[in-house]
Amino acid sequence: MDNRHLLSALSYFSVFFAPFLLPIIIYFVVTDSEVKHHAKWAFLSHCLPIAGFILTWLLGLNSIVNGGHMSQFIIPLILTGLAYLVVFIWNIVMGIKVLAR
């Protein structure tokens, strides 16, 4: 097992303990381009659910202010939860793939 593979996998597995912090630290500290590539993708995949979460809350706020149906808030909330689950599983799969090399 190589340090490159461990750091790359750790950036994906950081979804469990430090989703934003660890990939950024790895990206700026390590000089290896492969590790930087994986750290960048891990960071972007950690940001994706947060962007969906913010959009969902903005839609919910719009629904509350304009007197819309609660379904305008519930459906995006469910879709955001599913997107987070997919991204979470993707990070685990990518971490295992990197370790398997």
- DSSP string covering 75-96: HHHHHHHHHHHHHHHHHHHHHH
How far is 52 from 72, CA to CA, in rounded Å?
14
Spell out the domain ranges in the chain: 3-100
Q: What is the pLDDT of residue 64?
A: 73
pLDDT (tens digit per residue) in 51-99? 888 888 887 777 777 777 777 778 888 888 998 999 999 999 999 999 9
- Contacting residues for 73 by C-beta, under 8 A, at least 6 apart: 56, 59, 60, 63, 64
